[in-house]
Amino acid sequence: MGKRIPLPEEPIAGIDDVVQYDRDAKHYIFPEYKYFVRKVLRKGIKGGRVLDLGTGPGLLAIELAKARGCHFDITAVDISENMVRMAVKNARQAGVEDKIKFLVATAAALPFPDNSFDLVMSYASLHHWFEPVTAFNEVERVAKDTGKVIIRDNKRMYQNPFYKSIIWIISQFTSRRHRQNWSKAISASYTIPEAKEIVKKSHLRECRVNSDFVFVIDLCIESQ
Ligand SMILES: C[S@@+](CC[C@H](N)C(=O)[O-])C[C@H]1O[C@@H](n2cnc3c(N)ncnc32)[C@H](O)[C@@H]1O
Q: Give the fold, CATH level 3, of 15-223.
A: Rossmann fold (3.40.50)
With the most atoms of ligand 1 within 8 angstroms of its CB, the residue from 32, 77, 79 to mutate is 79
- Write down the domain spans for the chain: 15-223
**Beta strands 207-210 and 218-223: pairing type?**
antiparallel
* Highest mean pLDDT, choosing among 1-5, 79-83, 205-209: 79-83
Which stretches of the chain are DSSP H helices?
Answer: 15-24, 30-42, 59-65, 81-94, 132-142, 161-171, 176-188, 192-201
Beta bridge partners of 76: 52, 102
Is the pTM higher than 0.85? The answer reads yes
pLDDT class for 165, splitting at 50, 70, 90?
A: confident
Measured CA angle at 152 (ends 92, 199), to 5 deg? 130
Shortest-distance Cα residue to atom 8 of ligand 1: 123
- Give CA–CA dist 191/95, Å, rounded: 38
Sheet with 47-53: strands ordered across: 100-104, 71-78, 47-53, 117-123, 143-154, 218-223, 207-210
Q: Taking CB atoms and a 6 Å cutoff, what residues make up the pocket around ligand 1?
A: 10, 12, 25, 29, 53-56, 59-60, 77-80, 83, 106-108, 123-125, 128-129
pLDDT class for 182, splitting at 50, 70, 90?
A: confident
Residues, the chain: 224
Q: Tens digit of pLDDT for each residue in 117-138?
A: 999 999 999 999 999 999 999 9
Ligand 1 centroid to Cα of residue 125, in Å, is: 4
**Beta strands 71-78 and 100-104: pairing type?**
parallel
pLDDT class for 168, splitting at 50, 70, 90?
A: confident
What average pLDDT does the chain have? 93
In contact, 44 and 69? CB cutoff 8 Å: no
Amino acid at 155: K
Question: At a CB cut-off of 8 Å and minimum separation 6, what does 172 contact?
Answer: none
Beta bridge partners of 218: 154
Residue 11 has pLDDT above 70, yes or no: no
Q: What is the mean pLDDT of residues 147-172?
A: 87
In contact, 80 and 54? CB cutoff 8 Å: no
